[in-house]
Chains A and B, each alone.
Chain A
Amino acid sequence: MAAPVMTRSALIGWVVLAAAIGGVWAIQELAVPWTDPYYTDIVVRVGMNLLAVMGLALVLGFTGQFSLGHAGFMAVGAYTAGALNMYLHWHPVACLVAGGLSAAIAGVIVGLPSLRLVGDYLAVVTLGFNGIIIVLIQNAEWLGGAKGMIGLPTFTNFGWTFTFVLLGGMALRNLIASGQGRVFQAVRDNEIATRSLGIDTTRVKVTAFVIGAFWAGIAGGLVAFHRGSIFPTQFQYDRSIELVAMVVLGGTGSLSGPLIASSVLTALPEVLRPIAQYRMVIYALLLIGMMILRPTGLLGARELTDVLRFKKKSAA
């Protein structure tokens, strides 16, 4: 097809992305030094969760594959980034990208055999993968073992976190709107029908898994450079479950819904800090109440833009 190098809307998209990244760095340079570090810290933690959640939104929300091992990919990314920085003294950004890539490779290794399993069995295998990763790290002395890896640079700040959030958000939004994105949703809605159309559904599922793992790996790398230390217990299966809860609460089949849910759920424990003793109980009650009262999640399969405009924008 003799398509132009770049369509008008694609050009606008790139300009908006560049402007947004510029805006993030303007905030980093101008506003962050004047803000209470406590609040900046919460916002950065929200950003790291956003990255992990958007990858899982693709796997769980759009492709319908129930993965309970997403935190395992974060661990792979975090420890790859940490080790490359510690032993080879790579620049943190290079470490982050390498962390994302190694998580993606882990995604292929886990995904290829296990994505032939359906439903809950896949969930269990990914859960198992998460458990194995943690045990392996705990037994690897050169990665700090159970005592954790310490002494990494504290590189993660508002600017870098949200640069990656914007890149990831843009990439996933475009992917979901593309033909490949339709294929993901077709697998979710009816795998057998999709297969009968000649689509290799295992391949589609592995692709989604790998992309999700990549962004989880980036998120893990950011976590490693956030406090300058990482511990295996940070990436245990309760973290994976928390990420699944964020996607389901936000709405499966929506990208902005999980992002809103993860922002709220990350910030909520901080808001509830005055009643610290009861905050986990309140968190749990909210989760149950939300599921009973609004089973489709916050936005269902819609996006924030649909809700704000009250009708779906036709594709240009």
Chain B
Amino acid sequence: MTVFLQQLINGLSLGAIYALIALGYTMVYGTLSLINFAHSEVFMMGAFMALYLARWTGADVHPSIASVSLVVVGTMAFCAVLGMTIERLAYRPLRKSGRLNLLITAIGVSMLLRNGTLIACGPLASFPTLLPEAQWQLADGLTVRSMDVITLSVTLVLMVALHHIVERTQMGRAMRAVSHSRDAAALMGIPVDRVIAFTFALGSSLAGAAAFLRAVDMHKIDPEMGTNMGLKAFVAAVLGGIGSIPGAVVGAILLGLSETFVSGYLTSTYRDAIAFCLLIVILLFRPSGILGKHAPEKV
């Protein structure tokens, strides 16, 4: 039972990080029908930005609530601007051309950012301890780390904020309209380009928060860190039904839980295959994901 609870906590914590990244994939897919391969690189560069901000504010030596908050907000803002810049420079010129072109461009942007970061920041950096690291032994073999509590509460706060933005604000309504039908939204006078830019900013800032949490937890960051996390988060988004915001969260939690349970109860060597097996099984039985809407083809 303690093993079960322990894996439950670990899985939720991992799933929360996946969810924050997966939301960026799913929102961009909703508006542009694009698998934004560069999103994992936004996550990775967010981690590096958090490192530099921590050094600049002195949070790496004397972490205080003010300086660490500044690091978090600064990282999220940096990622938002980065996401908007990518959209403006690389994706907007291709708005009228095929989806395959957009996809190849996204792959190109991802390679550019990864290799650019490698040249500019080096292959590996250690990340300072910015948050208090405590452990609470609840029972024999059941420990809760402060990092898990922080990850889950930050994620929860951001989810509530996102829900408010998407469901209660003018911009959120515009986002849903563009996601529903871009052409119809444009005819209704919605500034589609601005809405898409906002979607990128919103998704990227969540990836920034995820990057901060992941970097603090892992204590080291590298230019390749986005690749695997991004792929898993994307799989999570597809699991839940790509384009659906609650779906991304459900898919991410499901993925996080299944990964930790498989490595906890079975063997950790097959851990990376679990994501894909789960994906294939779910897509075969529910081709548009758990919460995805099935869109019939029209002639």
What residues of chain A have their CB less than 8 Å away from a CB belonging to chain B?
66, 113-114, 116-118, 120-121, 123-125, 127-129, 131-132, 135-136, 138-139, 192-193, 237-238, 241, 244-245, 248-249, 252, 277-278, 280-281, 283-285, 287-288, 291-292, 295
B287: chain A residues within 8 A (beta carbon) = 116-117, 121
Q: Name which residue of chain B comes closest to A249, CB basis.
A: B104
Complex Cα distance, B299 from A2, in Å, reads 40
Pick the contact of A291 from B29, B108, B111 — CB < 8 Å?
B108
**Contacts known (A121-B238, A281-B119); A287 close to B104, Cβ less than 8 A:** yes
Not counting A124-B238, A295-B101, a sample of 5 additional A-B residue pairs whose C-beta atoms are within 8 angstroms of each other reads A237-B231, A280-B111, A284-B115, A287-B108, A291-B105
B interface, by DSSP: helix, strand, loop or mixed? helix
Q: Are B273 and A248 in contact (CB under 8 A)?
A: no
Q: How far is the CB of B75 from chain A (nearest CB, A)?
A: 24
B231: chain A residues within 8 A (beta carbon) = 127, 131, 237
Complex Cα distance, B108 from A249, in Å, reads 12
Q: How far is the CB of B109 from chain A (nearest CB, A)?
A: 6
Complex Cα distance, B37 from A244, in Å, reads 14
* Cβ of B266 under 8 Å from chain A: no
A291: chain B residues within 8 A (beta carbon) = 94, 97, 101-102, 104-105, 108
A284: chain B residues within 8 A (beta carbon) = 108-112, 115
Q: Are A128 and B107 in contact (CB under 8 A)?
A: no
Q: Are A285 and B112 in contact (CB under 8 A)?
A: yes
A237: chain B residues within 8 A (beta carbon) = 231
Q: Are B280 and A125 in contact (CB under 8 A)?
A: yes
A252: chain B residues within 8 A (beta carbon) = 100
Pick the contact of A129 from B35, B97, B276 — CB < 8 Å?
B276
Q: Are B104 and A248 in contact (CB under 8 A)?
A: yes
Q: Are A132 and B276 in contact (CB under 8 A)?
A: yes
Complex Cα distance, B29 from A121, in Å, reads 12
* Cβ of B277 under 8 Å from chain A: yes
Can you spell out 29 A-B residue pairs with CB atoms less than 8 angstroms apart?
A114-B280, A114-B283, A114-B284, A117-B283, A120-B242, A124-B235, A128-B277, A128-B279, A131-B276, A132-B280, A135-B273, A135-B276, A138-B269, A139-B270, A245-B107, A248-B101, A248-B104, A281-B112, A281-B116, A284-B111, A285-B108, A287-B105, A287-B108, A288-B112, A291-B104, A292-B90, A295-B94, A295-B98, A295-B101
B35: chain A residues within 8 A (beta carbon) = 120, 123
Q: Name which residue of chain A comes closest to B35, CB basis.
A: A120
Pick the contact of B283 from A66, A124, A139, A278 — CB < 8 Å?
A124
Complex Cα distance, B116 from A281, in Å, reads 6
Which B78-112 residues sit within 8 Å CB-CB of chain A? 90, 93-94, 97-98, 100-102, 104-105, 107-112
Q: Are B272 and A135 in contact (CB under 8 A)?
A: yes
Q: How far is the CB of B22 from chain A (nearest CB, A)?
A: 13
Complex Cα distance, B238 from A125, in Å, reads 10
B288: chain A residues within 8 A (beta carbon) = 121
Q: How far is the CB of A272 from chain B (nearest CB, A)?
A: 12
Query: 1/0 per position for B110-132, CB-CB distance to A under 8 A?
Result: 11100110010000000000000
